[in-house]
């Protein structure tokens, strides 16, 4: 995963103020992903911190969508936008906390370029 905290804030600022509601949740995820784990698992930690942890005061769903699609593209993969939107909606509705479930959905939805 190549996105930094500054990048994620910048993505949020496209939709909202970039103001944090739960900065420590995002910091935890960013710290955790420094481990040598697959990029899809790193992405799952970030998505969970944004969606379930409500990292930002506003724009969390849109931020999660953009982080998802941007990271997939950065890793030479493709994901259908409609499928990505539905994934984000489902994670929010289920209040999905399982990194494994999020990672699995990502891996099932992507294809190599």
Over residues 48-64, the pLDDT tens digits come to 999 999 999 999 999 99
Q: Three-class SS string for the chain?
A: CCCCHHHHHHHHHCCCCCCECCHHHHHHHHHHCCCCCCHHHHHHHHHHHHHCCCCECCCHHHHHHHHHHHHHHHCCEECCHHHHHHHHHHHHHHCCCCHHHHHHHHHHHCEEC
pTM confidence score:
0.94
68-83: average pLDDT: 97
Count of domains forming the chain: 1
Give the residue numbers spanning the domain of 46.
Answer: 35-112
Is 21 within a domain?
no
Residue at 108 is within a domain = yes
User: 20 in a domain, yes or no?
Assistant: no
Domain assignment of residue 12, yes or no: no
- Residue 64 counted as domain residue: yes
Residue 45 has pLDDT above 80, yes or no: yes
């Amino acid at each position: 995963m190549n996105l930094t905290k500054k990048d994620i804030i910048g993505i949020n600022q496209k939709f909202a103020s970039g103001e944090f509601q739960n900065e420590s949740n995002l910091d935890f995820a960013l710290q955790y992903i420094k481990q040598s784990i697959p990029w899809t698992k790193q992405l799952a930690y970030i998505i969970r911190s944004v969606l379930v942890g409500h990292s930002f005061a506003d724009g969390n769903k849109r931020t999660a969508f953009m982080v998802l699609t941007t990271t997939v593209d950065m890793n030479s993969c493709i994901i259908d936008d409609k499928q990505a939107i539905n994934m984000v909606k489902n994670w929010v509705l289920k209040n999905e906390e399982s990194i494994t479930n999020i990672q699995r959905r990502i891996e099932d939805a992507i294809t190599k370029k």
